[in-house]
Amino acid sequence: MPGEPVLARQLSVSRQAVREALIRLEDEGLISRRRGAGTVINSRAVAIRSRFDRRVQFSDLLVEQGRVPRVEVVNSTISALEEPEATRLGRPVSSWVWQLRRRWYGDDEVVVGVVDTIPLHEGQEPPPSGTPPTEVSEAELGEAVEWEMVKPDAVAADEPLSELCAVAVGHPLLALDVLGVARSGRLLYHALEYYVPGIFDFDFVRVVRR
C-alpha cells in the first residue's frame, strides 16, 4: 500500500485520519505495518466471507451462497423470567420476558435455529415476531445495543434442538451464546444461535505481535 502521506493526498483527508484508519485495519488483521518495510494487505483475510468476530446477517450470507433465505417462527411466548436466565440478564426473577424461537432456511434446508430472550415491561404485548431483537430492545427498554458478547461452544442436539434445527438427536451443532449490551452496560437481550455444520464457513484472524 502507499505510505500515509500519499494515502492522505489521494483520499483528501488528514494524515492523522489515515493513521487511525490503518491502526484499526491492523487490529482487525487486514493489514500489516512494519517500519521501513511499508504496509501490506492480508489478502487471505480480505477474502473471508463471514468473520467469526462480526455480527452475521444470515440472509446476506445465504444469498451470497446462491440460496433463498427464509425465516420461520416456531413459537413466541411471554413468560416470567426464571433462574439462571434472570442472573444472566441482570433482571429480577419473575420479571416479564419475550421468548422467540425461530429457524432460518437456505432454500428448503434449516441452517440456523435461534432462541431470543428479551426483557419487556410488565403487561407489554409481544412485538411482531419478525422484529429483530436489537429493535425490540431499543423500543421497549429505551436503549440501543452497542455490542454483542459472544461465547462459542459445540453441542449435541437434544430433543428440543433436534426439532428446532431439523437434525437428528445427537447431531453436532455450533452454538453461540450472545448477550446484547447497551452503551450504559445494561444487558438488553440474550440469544442462543445454533448453526448446522457445513453451511457457513466462519473464520477469524489472530494477529501475531512481534
Q: What is the pLDDT of residue 191?
A: 94
Q: What is the pLDDT of residue 150?
A: 92
Least confident range of 13-27, 125-139, 177-191, 192-206:
125-139
- Give 48's pLDDT tier (boundaries 50, 70, 90): confident
Q: What is the pLDDT of residues 106-162, one digit of tens each?
A: 999 999 999 999 988 766 676 776 677 778 777 777 888 999 999 999 999 999 999
Q: What is the CATH number of domain 52-202?
A: 3.40.1410.10
Q: What is the pLDDT of residue 124?
A: 67
Least confident range of 27-31, 49-53, 99-103, 190-194:
49-53
Domain with CATH 1.10.10.10 in the chain: 4-46
Q: Which amino acid would we find at residue 151?
A: K
| Residue 7, C-alpha cell as written in the block | 494515502
| Residue 72, C-alpha cell as written in the block | 420461520
C-alpha span between 57 and 67 (Å, rounded):
14
Q: What is the pLDDT of residue 45?
A: 86
- What is the 3-class SS of the chain, one letter each residue? CCCHHHHHHHHCCCHHHHHHHHHHHHHCCCEEEECCCEEEECHHHHCCCEECCCCCCHHHHHHHCCCCEEEEEEEEEEEECCCCHHHHHCCCCCCEEEEEEEEEEECCEEEEEEEEEEECCCCCCCCCCCCCHHHHHHHHHCCCEEEEEEEEEEEECCHHHHHHHCCCCCCEEEEEEEEEEECCCCEEEEEEEEECCCCCCEECCCCCCC
Q: What is the pLDDT of residue 22?
A: 93
137: number of Cβ within 10 Å: 22
49: number of Cβ within 10 Å: 12
Helices 4-11, 15-27: inter-axial angle, 10-degree rounding = 110
Q: What is the pLDDT of residue 93?
A: 93
Q: What is the pLDDT of residue 86?
A: 92
Percent of the chain with pLDDT over 90: 54
* Residue of higher predicted confidence among 28 and 195: 195
The number of C-alpha atoms within 13 Å of 155 and in the hemisphere containing its C-beta is: 20
34 with 16: CB under 8 angstroms? no
* CATH 1.10.10.10 is the classification of domain 4-46: yes
Mean per-residue pLDDT, 178-207: 89
Residues 77, 79, 85, 86: what is their CA dihedral angle, to the nearest 10 degrees?
150
How, if at all, do strands 187-195 and 109-119 pair?
antiparallel
Least confident range of 37-51, 52-66, 129-143:
129-143
Q: What is the pLDDT of residue 185?
A: 92
* Residue of higher predicted confidence among 28 and 68: 68
- Give 210's pLDDT tier (boundaries 50, 70, 90): low
120 with 97: CB under 8 angstroms? yes
Q: What is the pLDDT of residue 129?
A: 66
